[in-house]
Structures are given as structure tokens and as C-alpha cells.
Structure 1
Amino acid sequence: MSSPIQYLIRRTVPILSFAVAIAMLTSAAVAEHEGKVQILLLGDSTTEGSIPRLIKPEGPHLESVIEQLLAAEKDLPPSQVINSGVGGEYIRRLIDSGRYDRDVAELPGLDYIFIRYGLNDRVRVENFAEEFPKHFHELIDRLRKDHPQALLIPMTVIPYGNEEGCNQINDLVRQVAEKEKLEVFDIYPRYSAELANGPNMLNYRRYPSERVPDKYQELVAPFIRGGRVVVIDNELDSVLGHLPGWYGDRHPNLAGYNVIADETAKYLATIMRADAPKGAHTLPNGKLASALTLHASFDEGLDADFSTGDKICYVRRSGKLLRAEANDDAKLLPEAGRFGGALHFPKKSGFQPTFKDGGVLGYSDDNWSTTVSVWLKLNPDLDLEPGYCDPIQIVGDNGKKGFIFLEFSKDETPRYFRYAIRPLFHIWNPDNVSWADIPFNKRPMVQVDRPPFTREEWTHVVFTLENVNDKSKPQAGRLYINGELQGAIENWDLTFGWDPSQVLLVLGASYVGHMDDLGVFNRVLDQDEVKQLYSLKNGIRDLHPPATK
């Protein structure tokens, strides 16, 4: 980092050696904000760079070079890079040793997290081909839970050891990334291409001093560290390069780390430019993209365009979920949507397109947070038929165990628009009366008396759920219309009793009107992110991973 003092060690440790001190500085980093984009590097010794730090402590080292290269691009926001690489580390050790909880879990405000493991995993993990992907998935799950706003970036390893081993690692990384719907940052080709200019130009030399012939001992004496001759570059190659194993240590030297830094900065710059208007230091779309779990554009069908779970749109028939197809009750209208096509419900019917949870909504008995976004176009007072109308519902196996819905009221003129979270029945309705008989201010809902829906303009609606089923944290739900907060459901016990396998996202319950660009996210979006979502030029399609665009 540009100022190591800013991320002091959170615990006091004895200074065993200069190298240990440097390692602690990099691994126990505490993210600072100061308006800077926060970037975390997770990895092993090929990320940490302990020997270059030992030989040339003033650097610049990997994290500083990345910061400097990004700063040289004048249109990008300022950044702060935290190097949390540790020599000898592999994913299982990162988690089981407690280092993840100590040095990673609580870092605040991370925007991008680069993950580069595999070299040590391949050596230390039994049944590597099966266990390494499991460990990688576990790490990703932890990172998503602890840093829900960060864009996770799995990386390939650099050329190290035999090519076959590196290829195996990198293939497994790609498999994990594909299942997690993440894009892989492939550092291997660039590093390999640089090695073509000289096979030993990017690694330092570290050689046992006792294997150096006696006649050269005086020559190497200034380079001995811990019983080894350590040379950062090719300074002694002309004299000692003939010794067997002189070039055997393949860890990067400063030149090697500069290759990694340069390629990383280029990769980041591309993402950051795509995420924000030129010159505007706004929240990157990457944070939204990493949280996206479902997008249905309704351009070509009812099925989702993107999903981390099941893309298929279903409809309930005789108690069974069958694949849904557009019909007279739910029509696809090309070019009629806010973005491309739209889904149109021309009349009140029992046809309700449905998506399974299965990792999309992420319902959990322990702690559940999610965000749902949709665009609607209708005149509620002219288009809706008598009775309640719910454009969107989230339901479980039993309505008395919980029920979530957007609702147009049935009796008022103009009709109210509401967002309601009904937890276990006895919590919200202890007197066992009808919903309509409960005073408005006693219901767990947000009510908008004069919502801005019209037949002429699309209206953007977003609702959030926060810490459902977790009484240890503040529980809430919020409603936004056209990027503006309308109100919050707070100070309620939001405990549900659903069977997680039965949770569904249901569309069009008694709804008459147009719907477009349905999206689901695996965390609570804040107001700035909701505004960002509202302003997307091409809708949620802008958040798709590159391979699906």
C-alpha cells in the first residue's frame, strides 16, 4: 500500500525478523476508505513477495505498483490495494488457521477481491482434484457472506513448477468460477509470454550457501540470508549460473511482480471504466454484478436470461410446478418494454409465472437478506380489476409461516401501493383478524398513498429484506420507487418458518399491466446502489457476466 502505517497490525506480536514483520503488515491489513476504491489481494507467496521486501524494503512492491498504475489512468477513482498474501498458504489453511476470520472477514468496504491459490493446495491437499474445488467454493461462500458488495475475481496461477501442474490448477479454477458465475482473471498467458524473453528474468535466486564452491564464498557473503544466497536478479548469474539448481526457485522477483501488477491494473481499469461514467467516481457496477442472482428480461421468453440457480419459469398446475409458456394471460410484447421486450398481463387470471429459489432468493433459516427489482407500467385505477393485486410475491410452504408481497390495495381511490413483510402469523396478527381490519400503522408494511404509476411511463420498484430470521441483527425491509426511498419496515420480529426448498418468487397475482427487467440480488442494496440500478442504460443486462452478454 502507499502508506503502510495506515493499516497497522490489529494485534501485538513479537518482531521475530524483518521478513515476519513485513508479512504481518501485509496480511493483517485494515481497509481504509478516504473515498478510495478498496482492492484486496488474497494468495500465497507469489502474492506476498516476502523476499523482494526483505532485499528491497522500500519497494515499490506489488500493491504499490498496482495503485500507481491505476493512478496514472487519470479517469479512474483513487484506489487502495491491500496485499494479504502469505507464504505457504493454501485455502484450507487460510480458513482453518483462523487467519481468514482475523485478517479478512472484517475488512470494511472492500470493492474488489482477487483470489489466487492452488500452488500450495496441489502439494498439501490430499485428493487435490476433488477437494480443491470444494475449498474454493467454501472460500467464495465466506467472502460473499462477509463482503457482499465486493466483486470476487478468481485468478489463475502464474507459471510455477511444471506446466502440467499449473494447467490442472487453472482448469479447476475455471470450473469453480463457471459454477459460481464469476469471471476468471487469467494471469498465466501474460506471465508466460514475458518468460519467453528470458526464462529466468522474472524470478529471484535463492540457493543454499553450503553448495556454493569455497572459492566463491567471499563473493556471496553479502547476499547470504538465513543460510542461503539470495539475489533479487541476475547479478551473480555470470559466475554461479552453472551451478545445478541455481535457477530452481521460481518465486517472482520485482520484475515478476511488476508483470503481475501491470496485468492486474489493466484488468481492473477495464472493469472500472465499464462500471462508471468517465470521470465519475461512482459505485462500480461490478459490486452490483457480483450480487446478481437472477435476471428475466422477457425479451424472448419467460425463462430467466441469467440465474445462479434454475433459469426456468414455472406455473403451478394441480399442485405441481410445470414449465410456463407465454399465452393469452401472460403475453410477450417485443420492443414494448423498458428495455427490449415486456411481459404483459392483459387481464386478471390465475396464471402466475414463478421462479424457484434454489439459491436465487437465498432464503435461510439463520439470516436472509435479498433485494428484488422490477419495472411496472399501468394505471392502477383504470387497469386493475376489483380486489387486491400483487405484482410480486415471495411465498413458502405455508402463508402462516411467512408471506412477502407488493400490493395494490382493493378499496381506496386512488389505490395505495404497498410493500409488506408478514412473518409468522402470531407475530403480525396476534388477534387473528383479517388483514383489512388491521390499522395501517399496525401492519408490517410500507404504504405509498399516491404512487406514480401511469400507462405512459415505466416505474421502477425495488424492495429489500434484511436479516430476516436473525434477531441478533437489525431486521428491516425497504421500498424504493424510481430510486427514492419510500419507507421502511422496522422494529418488527421478522421470523419466518418456511421450508427452504419450497420458497418461490411469484409474478402477476391478479395483476393487470406491463412488467419488465425483473432482477434479484443476494444482499441488501443501499440507496446509492438502487439509484445506480435505476440509471442503468440497458437495464440489468449491463450486470451480466461477459460470457452471457
Structure 2
Amino acid sequence: MLKIPTIKRLAFFSFILAISLVSCKKDTTNADLKAALTLYASFDNGVDADFALGDTHMYTVPSRRMRDSAKVGLHKPDISITEGKGRYGDGLLFTERSPGNIYYPSTNNIAYSKDNWSGAISFWLSLDPETDLEPGYCDPIQITDVSYNDAAIWVDFTKENPRDFRLGVIGDRDVWNPNPEGPDNENPIFIDRLTGVKNPPFGKGEWTHILINFSGLNTENGEASLYMNGELKGTRTGIATPFSWELDQSNIYLGLGYIGIMDDLSIFNRSLTDKEISTLYTLENGVHSILE
């Protein structure tokens, strides 16, 4: 019988044990995503959020300056639930550009911090920008207490064909543009604060996953990244401009000028890892998969 020296036997068994521990290690990605979730709207059961740490209701206002006129629910005839045509189940369909806004309140649904703010925003879009969108800028999502140019996080399509797709993470306007001249959206100082994609991957009948990842806002080293279909498309670093919110005035606005379908909106209280972003993109049944 072949005898293996004691030291070699110990080394062999240690190697086998290490392999076993690695193979038995449980993948906690879904659980980690669930723990970080602050809001989720599938649009499969109407317009209210399926899960939220804050108010689950969608609201409609005639304009953002008329918050006191907000009504609970969806009250815009050009927006509706489209059955079975979402990325997963039903989706939220926008059919024309019109006055009025819909939103979810930010309080507790966004993990805003005055000191060190991080988070992530995930959703799916289906449209052909060249043929579906009307002239003008279009923001599928915009989160702010004032406007796109003042402490806001958003993505947009530029105003005319061929349209770029851009990420804006814009701090307090009186800091980045204390002496404004002309419209902010044409200001080079403003444009330098954006990251974007030319010829973005959208198409009629196709779905595109959008992920906004941000960390360290309200510090000297803020960072924000845009992912599309699980791939990193652009990053801004060194974001030092403060983001000062009156939180009860901040909202998660959807479909500003947008024409197309949106689905599976989710928001998280921290920035996500590359693995988590890839997982969100490949979930078989959307964010419902991590809630089960």
C-alpha cells in the first residue's frame, strides 16, 4: 500500500477542503439587491409601486410648480398601462408629449444624504428615438426638487435626430453656474457635466436596460456612471458640487417628453457592483425575481 507522508496528506486534505468551501459558498447577489431596494414598480398591478420604503402612490400634477394640485393616481390620457407589452408582463406606455407630470415622491424612496449620498436607478425602455420622439429634449426619468439644472439626476435624449442619450448628475445651480448666461442646457459649463452615448442601442420592438450608478455625492469625490444593457457607457468622476434638496419637495418624475414604453423601475440605497448590475440585466422575471 502506497503511504503518503503526513505533511503531504495534510496539504492534500486542506486543498480538498478549500475547494469544497468555495463550491458550497452561496451566491447572495439577489439577497443583497433585495436588501438595498427602496422602490420597485413593475406596472403589472397598476401604477402604484409594488414595493417602497416611502409612499407607494403615483401622483399627477399639471406642472411642477403646482404641487399643491397633485392628484393620487394616473390622470394623463396619453399615459396608460399596456397589457403584456412590457419587458416583463405589463408596461407603462407614453403616447405623446403633453403638459403635466407623473411622479413618485422621493422621501424614503431615495436614500438621500447631505453628507455622502450613493444609490442606483434601474429601468427598461422600448422605443425608436428617431421615429417615436417629438422634437425637443426628452427625460425618461428625472429626480430633483427643482429642475433638471439644479441638484438633479436624470437621463435624456437630445432634442433632435440623430439623438444622443446622456446622463446628467447636476449639483446646485448657484454653485456650478453662479452667473448664468443663456439657457443652461446649451451652456458649455452644463454640457461638460454630462456623459453620454452616440448611436445608443434603442430600436422599435427592442428593450434596453438603463442603470444609473452613483456614489460619494455631497463629498469632494462624487462619481456617476451610465450602464446600458449591462455595459458601462460613461463615468463622471470628481463631482464636488453639492446636491442640496428639500427632500419633501423632491420627486421621481417619469416620462418627461418621452414617447415609448417603460418597465421594471427599481431604486437602490447604494451604488451597485458590476455583478449586481449584470444580474439586474439578466433576471428572468425582472426585479420580481429578487422579491420572491
TM-score (norm 1): 0.47
Greater CA deviation, 375-384 or 364-373? 364-373
Instruction: Report what 1:14 is aligned to.
Output: none
Distance, in Å, in 2 between the alignment partners of 1:384 and 1:420 is 19
Deviation at 1:430, TM superposition (A): 4.4
Equivalent pair of 2:118/2:217 in contact (CA under 8 Å)? yes
Deviation at 1:300, TM superposition (A): 2.0
Which runs of structure 2 are paired with 1:57-456 in the superposition (5 Å)?
Answer: 76-77=24-25, 272=26, 284-317=29-62, 318-320=66-68, 321-325=70-74, 327-397=76-146, 401-411=150-160, 413-433=161-181, 434-439=183-188, 442-456=191-205
Distance, in Å, in 2 between the alignment partners of 1:511 and 1:531 is 26
Distance, in Å, in 2 between the alignment partners of 1:401 and 1:445 is 14
Equivalent pair of 1:428/1:443 in contact (CA under 8 Å)? no
Deviation at 1:437, TM superposition (A): 3.0
- Structure number with larger C-alpha Rg: 1
C-alpha distance after superposition, 1:146-168 (max 9, x if no partner):
xxxxxxxxxxxxxxxxxxxxxxx
C-alpha distance after superposition, 1:332-370 (max 9, x if no partner):
011101100010001112243211122111112222111
Distance, in Å, in 2 between the alignment partners of 1:294 and 1:305 is 8
Count of residues paired in the alignment: 270
Distance, in Å, in 1 between the alignment partners of 2:43 and 2:226 is 23
> What is the SS of the residue equivalent to 1:339?
coil
Call closer, same or farther: CA 1:498–1:327 in 2, change over 3 Å: closer
Unaligned runs of 5+ in 2: 1-16
TM-score (norm 2): 0.85
> What is the SS of the residue equivalent to 1:325?
coil
Structure scoring higher RCO (CA < 8 A, sep ≥ 6) equals 2
Aligned to 2:240, which of 489, 493, 517?
493
Call closer, same or farther: CA 1:287–1:341 in 2, change over 3 Å: same
Matched, 1:484 2:231: yes
Paired AA for residue 224 in structure 2: G
Distance, in Å, in 2 between the alignment partners of 1:398 and 1:334 is 32
Call closer, same or farther: CA 1:448–1:76 in 2, change over 3 Å: same
Deviation at 1:399, TM superposition (A): 5.9
> What is the SS of the residue equivalent to 1:539?
coil
Q: Percent identity?
A: 36
Paired AA for residue 306 in structure 1: F
Call closer, same or farther: CA 1:332–1:400 in 2, change over 3 Å: closer
Distance, in Å, in 1 between the alignment partners of 2:234 and 2:131 is 26
Instruction: Report what 1:461 is aligned to.
Output: 210
Deviation at 1:329, TM superposition (A): 1.3
Deviation at 1:76, TM superposition (A): 2.8
> What is the SS of the residue equivalent to 1:495?
coil
Deviation at 1:407, TM superposition (A): 0.6
> What is the SS of the residue equivalent to 2:35?
helix
Distance, in Å, in 1 between the alignment partners of 2:204 and 2:223 is 31
Deviation at 1:443, TM superposition (A): 2.1
Larger relative helix fraction? 1
Equivalent pair of 2:132/2:259 in contact (CA under 8 Å)? yes
Deviation at 1:431, TM superposition (A): 4.5
Matched, 1:527 2:274: yes
What's the C-alpha RMSD, in Å, of the aligned pairs?
2.2
C-alpha distance after superposition, 1:395-449 (max 9, x if no partner):
11466641221110003x2101001011111333345132343338952111111
Instruction: Report what 2:290 is aligned to.
Output: 543
Paired AA for residue 126 in structure 2: K
Following TM superposition, the consecutive aligned residue runs of length 4 or more in structure 1 with deviations greater than 4 angstroms are 397-401
Call closer, same or farther: CA 1:476–1:410 in 2, change over 3 Å: same
Matched, 1:506 2:259: no
Equivalent pair of 1:316/1:322 in contact (CA under 8 Å)? yes
Paired AA for residue 253 in structure 2: V
Larger relative strand fraction? 2
Distance, in Å, in 2 between the alignment partners of 1:450 and 1:400 is 24
Deviation at 1:470, TM superposition (A): 2.2
